[in-house]
Structure 1
Amino acid sequence: MRGTSHQNGRRRWPARIGAALSFVLLAACTPPEAPPGLKVSPAAYSMLPGWDADAFDGVVPALLNSCKAIAKQADDAEIGPKALGGVAADWRQPCAAAKELSGTDTAAVKGFFERWFVPFQAEDVRGNGGLFTGYYEAEIEAAKSPDSLHMYPLYRAPKQAVTFTRAEIEAGALRGQGLEFLWLKDPVDAFFLQIQGSGIVKLAGGGEMRVGYAGNNGQAFVAIGKLMIAEGIIDRKSASMQTIRDWLRANPGKAQAMMNRNPRFIFFREVKENGPVGAMGVTLTAGRSLAVDPAFVPLGLPLWLDTTWPIAHGAIKKGSPLRRLMLAQDVGTAIKGPVRGDFFWGSGEEALNFAGAMKNPGKWYMLLPVTAAARKTLNVVDIVSSLK
């Protein structure tokens, strides 16, 4: 990092703020004001389980994506509910410093976050534990025109908002408006593409296209997996995206009726970026991007995740600690609550294996920009100055 001071436009900070700040904040901090239902408590990097073990691979590009979105906002723009993530001006210097990182020097990346961000533990005030699921970018086959194999349309968003249910749309409510722009082989693929919100399409005749979320029909989301468990169709212990998909494919006579019980319908657009785009408008990073509830968590914020692996991975056993730095860069219809996250695993069947099996308890810590965190403290500038 360069420079000898931290300037936010109103006050100048001591150069040695980084090493001592987490300790000072832990000892003399008024927690940031949080949305109802969220409890935010001062923490220190020594409290983050596994902090010293993360390789931080992929973190810097993911953070810079957050920075791109925040850079477009005015200095006084509030980041997150109740300005929990500070204002956009608080991100200017951390983001500038991040551009100087190579992203491959683990010690440098770790030191960067310890210098520019301050950890706070985030909890549900009701005492409920956190829940972490996974999602992925589907890979499917499609054609640009219908034929005997490709008969199930993917729709663009209508110019005017619609409230037709899934069943009504599947029955032809939007037919004849020229909204169909891709045709799939499998209605189950179309359904799961809507659940995930983005995908890579392998085009018949060669080439591929990336598609992403373009809108919805305004209907409430219903998780058919919960319905299938409640009705004894699938077992709770074995329930996953894969088991739901397998049942739908094995029961074509009942599949559409079951899918129609989720009335929410998603429209798509072609995406030109080199990866799926999240709610922040930036490309998601596999293994580093997280979907959150923006009613509680500021989009763009670094989060230290403490959960477990959903399946075995090489020498890593199922249930082993999964602890890493993530970026809150997306949202999801079913992602609701103070400590609720959806882990982006990447693209294809391997990513599906992880995402489909993930429904794990855990907790997280929010990393707030240092100036935003300091404004929540009691005389922190004078205390830090005395530590020189």
Structure 2
Amino acid sequence: MTASASDIKYTVLDFASLDGWAQDDHAAALTTFRNTCQDMDDPDWTSLCALAGDVPDARAFFELFFRPVLIEDGQPAMFTGYFEPELDGSLTRSARYRYPVYAMPPEARAIRPWLTRRQILEGPFLQGRGLEIAWVDDPVELFFLQIQGSGRIRLPNGQMIRVGYSGFNGHEYRSVGAELVRRGTYAAHQVSAQVIRNYVQRNPDVGKELLYHNPSYVFFREVSEVPAERGPLGAMNRSITTMRSIAVDPKFVPLGAPVWIEKDGADPLRRLMIAQDTGSAIKGAQRADVFFGTGDEAGRAAGRLRDPGRMMVLMPIQRAYALLPEGAI
């Protein structure tokens, strides 16, 4: 259930109340902030972005010009992880490479919602239109590419092409992991991306139907102009940074804003992140997806993350106090 505006609670904190704040690498966070702050339109942010260009003390910069704001919508905090997968594919279809990575057709933008995942994959609607960016060899890996929103495809000659999110069909994301738990196939603590992969590969017919449980379907565009040493493009159309970029719900967190993360669980994380991405499953004021990087190792680490905690958005001072109800300061 979505909270109404009157249900949102804002609390302005001081930096001394942030667990681990003094120990973080604020300069690394500032570098990531600079990467996208020039794209923020509000005057409060553009002036701070200009100041961020020449800062001798990154920690002092954040403490002087920002205040941490705890935004609560009544839902518990939840941190998950995401990554940039690498798939094996080809620019031409073959017996091995037969699962298409589609560009977005214009009617999918005009009609909301458009066709479901099942209708797209089983129907004739996209065939023969030249919308295939590449063909890959594994439908499960393609499914997870859609969940992550970007990735690299390794061609037979060793060349890599990069694809990024272009849009989706307008249907709400539904978790196949949650569906496996609902069916009693696995307990909630057992479900991970690797478990889902193994299940679908062991049970191809049942697994195909399981993937159709998620009617949402993501389309891509080629973004191979992004250098290999840089991260994939996020929602701000800039490269995101391993373990410094997060995906958030922009209804609550401005894209480009610094966000202090206090992730609990088996491997606690206390770090200043930058909100540079979004995701169809990232909904809520205390919901964030941590970017773990590229490749299988990053994917394994990201897949294990599902922890509670709290997050505070660093807002320009005037903007932070303007969020409080009258008389609350």
TM above 0.5, one fold? yes
Counterparts of 1:62-81 in structure 2 under 5 Å? Answer: 62-70=32-40, 73=41
Matched position secondary structure for 1:169: helix
Matched, 1:132 2:88: no
Aligned partner (choices 300, 313, 316) of residue 369 of structure 1: 316
Instruction: Give unmatched runs, 5+ long, in structure 2.
Output: none
Counterparts of 1:1-388 in structure 2 under 5 Å? Answer: 35-56=5-26, 58-70=28-40, 73=41, 88-101=42-55, 108-124=57-73, 126=74, 128-161=75-108, 163-173=114-124, 174-271=126-223, 272-274=225-227, 275-308=231-264, 319-373=266-320
Q: Which entry has the higher C-alpha Rg, 1 or 2?
A: 1
Q: CA deviation at 1:138?
A: 0.7
Partner letter of residue 37 of structure 2? C
Is 1:141–1:203's contact at 8 Å kept on the other side of the alignment?
yes
Is 1:58–1:285's contact at 8 Å kept on the other side of the alignment?
no
Instruction: Give unmatched runs, 5+ long, in structure 1.
Output: 1-33, 74-87, 103-107, 310-318, 379-388
Is 1:291–1:329's contact at 8 Å kept on the other side of the alignment?
yes
- What value does the CA root-mean-square deviation take over the aligned residues? 2.0
Which stretches of structure 1, 4 residues or longer, exceed 3 Å deviation after superposition? 34-37, 373-378
Matched position secondary structure for 2:38: helix
Cα distance, 1:375–1:261 mapped onto 2, change above 3 Å: closer
Matched position secondary structure for 2:165: strand
Cα distance, 1:57–1:144 mapped onto 2, change above 3 Å: farther
Matched position secondary structure for 1:234: coil
Is 1:67–1:91's contact at 8 Å kept on the other side of the alignment?
yes
- What CA distance in whole angstroms lies between the structure 2 residues aligned with 1:247 and 1:148? 23
Q: CA deviation at 1:164?
A: 1.6
Residue 19 of structure 1 is matched in structure 2 by none
- What CA distance in whole angstroms lies between the structure 1 residues aligned with 2:255 and 2:282? 13
Is 2:282–2:289's contact at 8 Å kept on the other side of the alignment?
yes
Is 1:123–1:363's contact at 8 Å kept on the other side of the alignment?
no
Partner letter of residue 187 of structure 1? P
Is 2:27–2:58's contact at 8 Å kept on the other side of the alignment?
no
Is 1:143–1:204's contact at 8 Å kept on the other side of the alignment?
yes
Is 1:65–1:282's contact at 8 Å kept on the other side of the alignment?
yes
Q: CA deviation at 1:57?
A: 5.6
Cα distance, 1:206–1:321 mapped onto 2, change above 3 Å: closer
Partner letter of residue 70 of structure 2? Q
Partner letter of residue 55 of structure 1? D
